[in-house]
Every structure is written in structure tokens, then in C-alpha cells.
Amino acid sequence: MAFLVAGTLQVASQVADAQESLGRKGKYSVKDPRVALALCSPEVSASTAALLEGVFQTLGFESCWRQEASVQGFRGELTRFREQLDAHGGSVGCAFVALVARPWQLRQSQQLVQELSRCKALWGRPKVFLLLSSAPGAVPEPGAFLASLGELCGRRPHWSLLQLLTEVFSRTAEESAGAAYCPVLRSSLRGALCLGNVEPWGPEPEPGPSAQYDLSGARAALLLAVTQGRLGAQHDVEALGGLCQALGFETTLRTDPTAQTFQEEMAQFRKRLDAHRGPVSCALVALMAHGGPQGQLLGADGQERQLEVLVQELSHCGALRGRPKIFLLQACRGGHRDAGVGPAALPWFRRWLRAPPATPSQADVLHVCTDVQGRSSRGPTPGSPNQADVLMVYAAAEGCVAYRDEKGSDFIQTLVEVLRADPKADLLELMTEVNRQVCELDVLGPDCDDRRKACLEIRSSLRRRLCLQV
């Protein structure tokens, strides 16, 4: 009986922690201890390491470890870090891991992210990864990036980390021959992460108008949707088309494109924008189709088209240089079905405790890459020319299934509801709210009776706030 009571209390404690982790109003509560780890290759300068430790302290991280190791030893060090957190026995408010090495050495960083995501002490808690290049002449320089981040953290403690990074991107992005070099963030956060010494649900002063993209020019949207053999896809097309019209986008819709047509329509869309007589202020592209095992898009003819080829087409649009480019991707990126993570409990225990649903195992991660020479798998290249000012939102995490039923997809339907409810808010924050709602859903796949979870992936190189309605 004592064992049963102890187990019940443990589950109750875990459930309470999970419910508290997002605080109120969709914002993380990070009142528990914050821990930070810096993994630096031997050639990293002492000044860069000192700047990094200063940023940790400014962000309120009480426990900071710095370890020098070869890049091959990073995973082992991260495993020991995870084991220490789990052995501590308590919850952790937030974990921040900085990886500093040569640019070509950090291409497999996703494995390190997955290693920390296994940490039980961090279940439902934000995990931040910062990849910094130690190469001479890196753009942006790691010292400049860290100094800007630290200074902003001190002056704007009420800003969320996504807001801070957007401003840092604006400051550190380099312009060369009209091509913007900009860092990229990848987020599966479910709420605003505010690391300043302020209440996470306190009022936030609005940033000045100068911090926003100017959307006074023309807006254009291209919707490419395969509806054949995709139950509910037509509902997504109708809902998204109505939203684009309400937000003032001149919309072009093409249904059931072949793989070749995907490419041709993107090229024609770019040409129309470049030929537009007046200024073009924003473009939105929605790609809705079946996805291949490596994240490819499948046309109505079953042939594959690489997503990055389509993205690059629009990135070279002269009319959109310095203007926001939005991509919405409703397609599978693999075949993995995520059961989620959470406190183990019998079904009647969970009902009695009113336990929250399981959290997708890929959720609560913020991954910042400043390496202009790095390569991202199946997506925009971080920091490469013409990749600034891009917002991409995937309906599924890398390698996972994107769900859809006869009513449409969870991603598109939730997105339309959230944007219609508050079209004046910052789009990056709205997408985070969409992810929170999608993560709370339990999904039954067509070939599986067990409940599964879905999680969005948001990639941004935006350098200003993006508000689609003034």
C-alpha cells in the first residue's frame, strides 16, 4: 500500500511539474534551476569562452559548466551532462547548451539535440542549443553575436528569446553584393520563453514600429495542393485560401500539380513578382502534398521534388530581397509516429489526476545556428546567401508523419483559427501558439490504433517582427 501511495504521489508531482512548465498564457515558467553547458573545441579563443559565460550569467543560469573537448567527444560530454541532470532528482527550469567549433564540424548537431531530449529532468522544459563557428572570419563573428545577445538580454528582460534572437539576427546579418547572410533558428517551442528576471506572464511593452517589416506593398500567395488521394485536403485548401484573402494576399491556387509542375509554378510565381510594377512586401507559399521518406514532396504523378529546390527558387526573387517569405509545408517528412513522453501512469490514475496529454518527444527545443558555411538537411541552408527573411513552418518534425483526416490537417486548420483570432500579433509568436495547440492533440493514425503526437518545426531567419495586419 505504501508503494502504491508513493507511486501515486510521484506521478502527481510529475503531472504538476508538467502543468506548470508552460505557466499561464502559453509562456514557460522557468522558476526551477537553469543549467548551462558550453562545449568548446580546443582552438576556441578565451575571449569567446568568456563572452559565452557572460551571456549565461545575464540570462540567469545559476549552474554553468564549460568543457573543452574534441568535436568527436561532444556527444559523450552531453551524455554525462544528461545523466547528471537525471541523477539530481529534481526538475530543471531550462537547459542551454552552446557548441563552439569549426563550421564543418557541427553538421551532425541534430544527434546532440536528440541526446538531451532524452533527459527526464527536462521533460516538458525548454532546451536551447546555440551553434557558434570558431573559424576566423566567420559571418557573423561569434564574439559580435554573443555581445549583441548579452547586451539585448540585459536591456530587454521582458522580451522572449525568439524576439531577442530576431533582433540579434537584424544586427549581425551581413550584407554583401545584395545577398543577406543571416543566422537561422529552428524551434519546436510551445510557448514564449522569457529568461529575464520578470514574471513570465507579466505585461510586455510593444516594440517600436521600426522593428516591424513594412507590409504596405503588394502581397502575393501561391497555394500548391495535391488533393487526389489525400482525404480532407480540400478543406485545407478552402480554409487557407479564405485566410489569405482576408489578409489581403493576391492568391494563386493550383491543385494536383505534378512534381514538374511544382517547379514550374514556383518559377512563374517568382517571375510575376519580379515583373510587378509596384513594391512587393510579402510572399506566402503553401505546399500541401504527400511526403517522401527523406522529406521530399510527391506530385500528383507520384514523382519526387526536393523541397530545397523550390525554396531556393523564391529566395532568388529580386522583388523580395529584404522582404519576408513565408513557407507552409503540410507533408510527411518520414514514417515515424511519435508516442510522446510523459509521466507513466495507469489510465485511471491519469483521469483521477487530470494529467495533461503526453508531450511530443521533439517539442520544447530551440536550435540556433550561426554558421554561414553549415548545411542543414532538407531545408534552407543556415546563413547562406539570400536566406535571410524566411519563415518556414513544417507540419511535422524531421522524420515524422504529418496527420490529416476527413476534416483536414491539424496544422492548417489550427493555423487558420489562430491567425483569424489575432491577425495583428507577431507571426513567429502565433506559429508558436499553433504548435502548442497541435502538440496537445492526440492523433489516431489510419493504420494505427494507438494514440500518437505531432509537433511542428518552425525555421526562421526573420530580422524584424512580422505582423500580417496592422
Lowest mean pLDDT of 152-161, 241-250, 390-399, name the range. 152-161
Strand 34-40 with 390-394, pairing: unpaired
Dihedral-angle region of residue 248 (phi above 0 means left; psi in -120 to 50 means alpha; beta otherwise) = left
Instruction: For residues 372 and 308, give the distance between their C-alpha atoms in angstroms, rounded to a whole number.
Output: 17
- Please, which pLDDT band fits residue 23 given cuts at 50, 70 and 90? low
Please tell me which residue in 182, 290, 367, 369 is annotated as part of the active site: 290
Q: Which three cell numbers stand for residue 345?
A: 501512469
Instruction: For residues 115 and 79, give the distance between their C-alpha atoms in angstroms, rounded to a whole number.
Output: 7
* 34 residue type, one letter: R
Q: Is 332 a residue of the active site?
A: yes
**Pairwise pLDDT comparison (153 vs 464), residue with the higher score:** 464
Instruction: For residues 275 and 209, give the distance between their C-alpha atoms in angstroms, rounded to a whole number.
Output: 29
Question: Which residues in 267-283 are b (16+ Cβ under 10 Å) and which e?
Answer: eebbebbeeeeeebbbb
Q: Enumerate the domain spans of the chain.
A: 2-187, 214-333+386-460
Class at the top of the CATH hierarchy for domain 214-333+386-460: alpha beta
| 323, 282 Cβ separation under 8 angstroms | yes
Instruction: Name beta bridge partners: 416.
Output: none
**What pLDDT shows up at residue 358?**
81
* Section 68-89 average pLDDT: 89
372, pLDDT greater than 80: no
* Section 60-89 average pLDDT: 88
- Domain 2-187 maps to which CATH number in 3.40.50.720, 1.10.3720.10, 3.40.50.150, 3.40.50.1460? 3.40.50.1460
Please tell me which residue in 40, 64, 332, 369 is annotated as part of the active site: 332
**What pLDDT shows up at residue 327?**
97
**What pLDDT shows up at residue 11?**
42
457, pLDDT greater than 90: yes
Q: Report pLDDT digits (tens) over 278-310.
A: 999 999 999 999 998 888 999 999 999 999 889
Q: CB neighbours of 360 closer than 8 A, spacing ≥ 6?
A: 188, 338, 340, 341, 397, 439, 453, 454, 455
Same topology, domains 2-187 and 214-333+386-460? Answer is yes
**Pairwise pLDDT comparison (443 vs 329), residue with the higher score:** 329
Omega cis (within 30) before 343: no
Q: Report pLDDT digits (tens) over 110-122.
A: 888 888 888 989 9
**What pLDDT shows up at residue 355?**
53
**What pLDDT shows up at residue 27?**
87
Q: Is 94 a residue of the active site?
A: no
Can you list the alpha helix ranges (DSSP code H) found in 156-301?
Answer: 161-172, 233-246, 259-275
| 222, 257 Cβ separation under 8 angstroms | no
**What pLDDT shows up at residue 446?**
60
- Please, which pLDDT band fits residue 128 given cuts at 50, 70 and 90? very high
HSE (CB half, 13 Å, CA atoms) of 261? 18
Q: CB neighbours of 453 closer than 8 A, spacing ≥ 6?
A: 338, 339, 340, 357, 358, 359, 360, 361, 439, 441, 442, 443
Lowest mean pLDDT of 219-233, 369-383, 401-415, name the range. 369-383
Instruction: For residues 375 and 353, give the distance between their C-alpha atoms in angstroms, rounded to a whole number.
Output: 45
Tell me whether residue 447 is exposed, middle or buried, using C-beta atoms within 10 angstroms of its C-beta: 0 to 12, 13 to 18, 19 or more: exposed
| 184, 250 Cβ separation under 8 angstroms | no
Provide the percentage of residues in the chain whose pLDDT is more than 70.
80
| 262, 305 Cβ separation under 8 angstroms | yes
Q: CB neighbours of 36 closer than 8 A, spacing ≥ 6?
A: 56, 59, 61, 63, 64, 65, 95, 96, 97, 98
Residue owning grid cell 526536393: 306
